[in-house]
Amino acid sequence: MKSDNINFAIASDHGGFDLKNKVKEYLQSKNYEVKDFGTYDKNSCDYPYYAKKVVNALLSGEFKKGILVCGTGIGMQITANRYKGIRAVCPSNSFYARLSVEHNNSNILCLGQRALGEGLAIEILETWLNSKFQGERHQKRIDMIDE
């Protein structure tokens, strides 16, 4: 585990299975711990089931950050954002990834295997990992979401 103590809950549906494995390999190569909540093969399955597994892992307090991969990232994002305390984002570039952390303290990164090449997906992931929440006025606004 890295010294900043972050480990990741990760899941995908069949449409995000290959990219999820690349993301997992990348995180493990950087010495992050990753818990894979499925799916474990390419058989057709339902993204809400897997999104909820990662949401529950965060809401239970076991994990602080999650990554969800499907064909577009969109179904995962919509599902995860139904839950109070979850701020799931589906950035299409590094700018969105950085601002989603700096201003919105995003806690789930959604990626679309059909929409992003591996290189861009990993660049987005790296930016998301290395960005820091700026707090202050942004915290007040986040509190307002859940009020």
Residues that bind ligand RB5 (CB under 6 A): 13, 15, 47, 70-72, 74-75
Whether omega for the bond prior to residue 79 falls within 30 degrees of 0, making it cis, is no
Task: Give the residue nearest to ligand RB5 (CB).
Answer: 75
Is residue 14 annotated as part of the catalytic site, yes or no? no
38 touches 56 (CB < 8 A): no
SS3 content of the chain, % helix, strand, coil (to 5): 45, 15, 40
139's CB contacts (< 8 A; 6+ apart) are 105
In order of 44, 86, 95, 136, 138, the CA distances from 24 in angstroms are 20, 21, 22, 32, 30
Q: How far is the CB of 111 from ligand RB5 (least distance, A)?
A: 11
Closer to ligand RB5 by Cβ: residue 80 or 129: 80
Closer to ligand RB5 by Cβ: residue 13 or 106: 13
- Which of 45, 70, 90, 110 is catalytic? The answer is 70
- Which of 14, 45, 90, 103 is catalytic? The answer is 103
Is residue 70 annotated as part of the catalytic site, yes or no? yes
Closer to ligand RB5 by Cβ: residue 24 or 131: 24
Q: How far is the CB of 137 from ligand RB5 (least distance, A)?
A: 33
Active site (catalytic) residues? 70, 103
